[in-house]
Structure formats: structure tokens, C-alpha cells
Chain A
């Protein structure tokens, strides 16, 4: 523990004491301090101890933090009267705690010689921070707000609706314009005509506002928000705003401030907005909290110009890595740099890798976007079944101090014959095509906010390894770290790089209900789905079963393999399940998935005979459609594939998934019938500037030409 905590007290001119807790680093690296301000009526601890975690993290990285109770809050003197919460919130949003915050800054200057301040807080704390900074800008270096609020709370119901409510209601009315039932409800008085008329009028206002003809006040705007925001911009006080995607406050803020005031820009003069995916107002899940703290620290570090950590390049293979790390640590300590060191370690054995299982999962949980094919379990499973005698692990672990912050899950495939070169692949790729697992969306794994640091360290590690000539990765998304950062930096270092599009990711952004989903499909496709389902229902003996226990798994896997093989047999091919290795891999992996409630393996049977099977991997917000099979020869009239797929989508909607991901497909894929959004996917290759690299490049070029020629011949 490299921080301590003390009671903080400062008495105001009114004779009342304001109290808080100050968390002090063992070694302070700045003349600034962060002041965390009360989230509404919640005290210095913050919801679910968020402020405590924040303060201890910052202090352990050299920055002192005061968690303050304003008058009437927590341990401070004073008292709020008995009143509606909304009334109290409104007073706070109007600047009730500004004087107390200024008093706290004075106290910090007197007792701890703090000269500059970052004012921070959640919700009510955010607006207090902004209003205080606008009124005492000389000493405020920046404002850090979480779930900011630009409206004033009221005791009663809000009279005016927000823009999104008006738009959403209008859309619903338009959808129902030809609905007989909807009109019937209006005529019977079951629907509020007044509400409909009011929405239409508000929509008209909205159109006028969009045309720049009027400026409508919506949903209790806080006028002080806008004036203080401009004031910070003029005074060059930067503001970082972090929001939670699933927070109603974010929806309101986006339409009121981002769309209505900042031209829809998340970054602009003096401000920067980040949104943590899926999070709720108070960032309940630990990964959201960690992302919030990491993003905050990264921003504070740049605003306060905190000394950068001395980057360590571990000297692999010479046995003196610890000396290098210790040397860097000593240099950092001498320079007053916080005890945070970037370093890496290369794991070469599975036994060693197994020791990092929990930390790997921890990093994966803190990524901005995760993928089941980057998980520890997937990698371990794949390695167990696919590692050949010429495969050698080279997993790069990246550390900040002692904390694992990133992983490059790669291995080296050495040459088995002369016309091949030592190639680095991502674990899950590089196996022969006839038994390939098709791991997609793989990437370098990094915790949110540390991506650049992780990629830089991975580059150092790759450059330090002299045994590879080519690095190959495929089925990457355009925002992957490999494509975005790694490729350009390796090119800058003299290596040859190439990338090409391999197809499209097809995925459905799932609506709230199945009927809403169906209504978005083409009439033709909707009819086909309904027809297929009706036929199955009419056949009477159709039944879809879901694997829920380990006992049910082997039979369901066997059915999948057989049905998949049947489908491929029609094309005169054996299908990938004919590979013993592929089958064993999936038998193993599905067991792990089942244990962690992430397997979606379903079988459609008629009269107990399996006629279709579908294999999904469930992960976070996404259901990945991985594999399927169907007996079209005998049961084609029931369209078993379509029935299974539609049932899988419906099930994903029912379980609250945000995406149904078909994974990669070609440009003309059947997947496009299902209302998918598409994103291009890429394959990349990096060739070293050495003999092996040049040979690899040559081989790659020949292969491309042969492939193109073969295409033309076909």
C-alpha cells in the first residue's frame, strides 16, 4: 500500500466544519490535487465506494485526492432540511456546494501546499465541479465529470419531454398509422389523443428548431451549465466528461448538449467526451469502474503533465531482465516518477501461461470490446488441440509496474519445409484450412485507456525477437489495434506490410422485441420465416432443445457434426467436423462454454430425429452464430436452417443481447437478408526486412498470383 489517508477538516467563516478524507501518495509527483465532490446527497465515499477506489488508485500513482463532504453531507456540519430530494438536487445543480469546494481548495493549499486542482465528481458532483471551476479558474487545471447533468431536477413531473422522447413517440405513431387496431383504440378513447396531438406539436417545434428558426427550451435546461461551460472554454480549462451508455442522463445530455449545443461533436475546444459501453449511471460493474478510473487517470496525467514512466525494454534471453527493470525503477525514483513501469514478458510454455489465467481474464474484462476468441479459455483450448511440434508459444504479456495491462496472444510457427518461413500467428489462427477454427475479431488485448501503451510495448517485444520473418493475422476488424496501430509502426520501422479485405462482418443490432425485428425485414424474407415456422408448427412433432447440462452435450455435438457434414456432402466436401482435431477442440471448448453459461447449442428434432443444429457462443452483449447444420435432403420442405436461425435470433432478443453476430461472410452472403449491419474485415501480413522476410514476401506474392490465376481458370 503506497498511500495513506488522513481526516481533512476546514472551518468556514460561518463557524461550521467541512470534513473529508485526503488520500496521500507515498511520494507526491505533482503540485496539484484532485477534489472529488459529492454525488448529489451521497457522501465522500461515493456510490459503491467509487470515490474511495478512485482516490486510492490516484494516490498510488502519485496524485493526492480529497474526497469532500459539503455542508449537510456525510461527516460535515450543517443539515439539509426535510424536503423533496428533487428540491435538494436542484439547489446542488444551481451551485449550492461551490463555496464549500473553494474552501476545500484553500484548505488543501494551506495544509498540503496544493497549487492546482482537478475538480471531479459524479452527477451533482460534476456540475459542482464545473460551476466552481468557472468561478475560480485561476487555480483549476481541469474538470473531470462523470455522468454529467445539464438539467435541473424538479419536485414534480417534468412538463416538457426530451427530444428523444418526442422523436421516439413520433416514430411509434408513424409505424402505427395504418394499423386498424391503433385507430380503433383512438376512437374507443383507449389512447390519449391529447398526448398524440402534443407529440405532433412538439415534433413541429423540433423541426423548426432544426431549421434554426426557434430555440426551444427542453426538459429543464440548467442555464448555468451552458454559461459555465463557455466560461471554461474561454479560460482554457480542459474538461473531460465520461458517461455511461445505458444512463438516461447520457441520453438527455447527448441531445441537449452534444446535439443541441456542440454540433454533435464528442471532442472540441477544451472538452472531450468518452462513453463507457453498456455502463449504468453509477458504473456498477467493476470493469466499468476500472475503465472510468483508467480513462480519468490517463486524462489527468496529460493535463497535469505528470512525468512519463521510463519505458523498459526487457532483454529477453540474457537472464538480466530483472536488472533492467530494477535499473529503470531506480532511475524513475530518482526522477520522482511514480512507481509505474512499462515492461513485458514473453511466455513460451503452456505451464507458465496457466499461471496468468486470472490476470488474462481480468484484462479481457476491462477491454473496450471483447471477443470470445480472445479469451484465455479459447486460447488454451486451441493450443491444447492444435499445437504441433513446430508451434512455439510467444505470448507477450505487457505490464505497468506489477499490473498486467495487455496481452498479445501469439505463437511462432517455424518452417517444416524449405519454402516456408518462421511466422508469428495469433493463437487460434495459422492451422491448416481443412481443420481451421475460424477465430475472428482477434487482436492485441489491452485494458481500456491503455491501448497505445500496450501496443508500443508489444512492438518493442516483437522487434526484440529475431526468430520470426513474417507476422500474419486475419479476420480483423478495422478498429483492431493490429490494424490501427501496430501495422503503421512496424512499417515505420522498415518492415513491409500488406493488408487486404477478407469479407464482411454481418451482425444484427437487436431491437427490443421479435416483432420489431421482423418488421424491419423485407416482406419476402419475413414471409419466408413465418412460413417456415408455420410449417414446422403444423408438422406437430417439431421440438427445439437447448443444451443445458454436460450430459446433453455429447449427443448434441454429434448431431451438429453429422448435420453439418450432410450439408457439406451436398457440395462434395467432407466438412470441417470430419477433422478429428477440430471435433475434439469443440468438444472441449463447448464444455468450458457450458460451464460459464456462454454456450448456445440448440437442436431441432422432428419425432426425436435431429434435423438441424445451431451452435452459438454467448459473450457479453453479443450472441455469435458460430456453426450450424441441417438435413435439407429429407426435411428441406420445413426449411430447418431458417427455423433454427430465426429461433436463435428470437432467443437472443429475449435474453437481452444487443447484437446477433453472424461473423464473417462474403459480399453476397445470405446473411444480408437478416437485416444486418456490415463492417469490413481484413487480413494483414508484416514481413521483416531480412532474408527470411524477403523470402516470405516473395512466397506470398507467388501464392497471390497462383490464386488469382486459379480463380480465372475456374
Chain B
């Protein structure tokens, strides 16, 4: 039964329960699955995604946000998580959305959530929008390792385990602690292999990147935009996915750019 307005609940997808927040209009014209950033970035982006979801809901879209396995309020532990579970969480929720709406289904992913959206390549999805994706899993893992080193420096005044030692420990089965999150060896190993795909099954693909006005699209991204046959849009602004000095949960430019893309696709 569709409930109009905001509604949060737990969805049992068979193997575990996921926390899901729904923003549903009276008669949805389609549905959107929002894939959040990962780890602490997710915490900083929760309100941004909530506001984005409300904005899309006002435009007639049934929007759901969720916490993946081992994240947020969902069941499980990240130390046991892997990318297959992430992809399967997305696929299960898309399946549920497909049963509820007749219109198009769009997956909007932010940061690592964008990479998951592209990597999962879920069938029955009409469009994928990747907001500030990472260029590769390896690059992201290196960023996460840097956070671990920063924590070591701040805590112990020096680095006790460098990147190589951390990765070697992960290969031997130990978790790597990133800002308090224990990432299991399987997840780390899979993440390092993730690259941007050259094609996805969705017919419509868009890549949105946040940057300063008139920022040029780097050649790497231009190449992938071309490969994917995607549209590219720039959201004018500064990175919002870590604790900023200025708190802005609305990210007006980003919300506008996403809305414009929806209008272009489904007007």
C-alpha cells in the first residue's frame, strides 16, 4: 500500500533487514532509488539526500533512500559486507519499486553510491545518474587509507602501519579501520577492482560533478562520458561530502542540476 508523504520503515529482503526512507507523492510518475555515499561521507550527506528526495518527490517521483547491509540502521556489520551484497540490496529494492510504480525507474547514486549504481548495472532500470562518482575503486581505497594514516598521525603522532602494511594485513584477512568503520578484506579486495564501466544496460546515463564555475571536464571523465553515451552536467559548488566549515544541507545547485536532468529526460 502506498503511503503519501514521508515514511520510514525496515524492509526484509530475505537475508537481512534494510532501513528505508520513502518520499512518496499521491500518484507517482516513476520511482527513484537514491544510493548514498559510503562510511562517514554518508553521515554528512544524509540531509542533502533527504532534501534532494523531497525535491524529487515534489516533482512527482516516489523516492527511496536506504542504508545498505552493515550501514546506518540496517542489519549486519560492514566487516562482513561485500559488493555483491551491495548490488543485491539495490536490485531487491528496484524490484520492490517496479512492483509499485508503472513509470520509469531511475537510480541516482552519490560518490561511492554512484560507483555502486554503475557497477551493479541493474536490469529494468531506465536511467542512471552518477553524482560525483570516484574515478576507480583503487583511487577510493587509497583515499580511505589516507584517512587511516591521518588518524594514526593524530592519535599516535606517527604512522605505525603504512599503506602497504595495511593492505598486506587486509590480504591476510584483517579488517582495515577507516574512521571507525572496520572494512573486511573481501570488501577491500573487491573495491580495488572496481573501475568505471564502458556501458550500462540503462538507456539514459548522466554524470554530474561538483566544481567551481567554468570548471572543465578532465579528459579522463570526458572519455567515460563518451563511452557511456552519458550527458554531463556541472553542479557549481564545493565538495560537500566531508565535514565542511560551512554547513549547507540544501546544496541548491546540485538539487537544481539533478532536477534539470530529470526534466530533460522525462518532461
Contacts and interface: CB of A to CB of B under 8 A. Distances in A.
B157 A43 contact: no
Nearest to B251: A82
Given A45-B73, A656-B156, A85 B40 contact: no
B33 to A, nearest CB: 17
A282 interface: yes
Interface string B45-59: 011001100000000
A74 interface: yes
A280 B154 contact: yes
Nearest to A39: B43
Interface string A620-652: 010000000000000000000000000000000
Interface in A425-484: none
Size band of the interface chain B makes with A: 35 or more
A48 interface: yes
Contacts of A289: 180
Contacts of B10: 5, 7
A85 B247 contact: yes
Nearest to A42: B43
Interface string B152-182: 1011111111000100000000000101111
Interface string A33-77: 000000001111101111010000000000000000000111100
Contacts of A45: 43, 67, 72-73
Contact of A48 (B40, B50, B155): B40
B245 interface: yes
A283 B8 contact: no
A286 B71 CA distance: 16
B244 A48 contact: no
A21 interface: yes
Contact of B157 (A74, A282, A512): A512
A598 to B, nearest CB: 11
B46 A278 contact: no
Contacts of B78: 49
A621 B157 CA distance: 11
Choose among A73, A280, A282 the residue with the greatest number of B CB atoms under 10 Å from its CB.
Answer: A280
A82 B158 contact: no
A279 B156 CA distance: 9
A186 interface: no
A47 B43 contact: yes
Chain A interface mostly? loop
Contacts of B250: 79, 82
A284 B72 contact: no
A597 B244 contact: no
B18 to A, nearest CB: 12
Contact of A88 (B9, B158, B180, B247): B247
Contacts of B165: 597
A615 to B, nearest CB: 20
Nearest to B159: A656
A84 B246 CA distance: 4
B6 to A, nearest CB: 8
Interface in A652-671: 654-656, 658
30 contacts: A7-B8, A43-B43, A45-B73, A47-B40, A48-B40, A48-B179, A49-B181, A52-B72, A73-B47, A74-B46, A75-B21, A82-B246, A82-B250, A83-B246, A85-B246, A85-B247, A278-B155, A279-B155, A280-B151, A280-B154, A280-B155, A284-B151, A284-B177, A284-B179, A284-B180, A285-B180, A597-B165, A656-B156, A656-B157, A656-B160
Closest 5 CB pairs of A and B: A48-B180, A656-B158, A284-B180, A656-B156, A82-B248
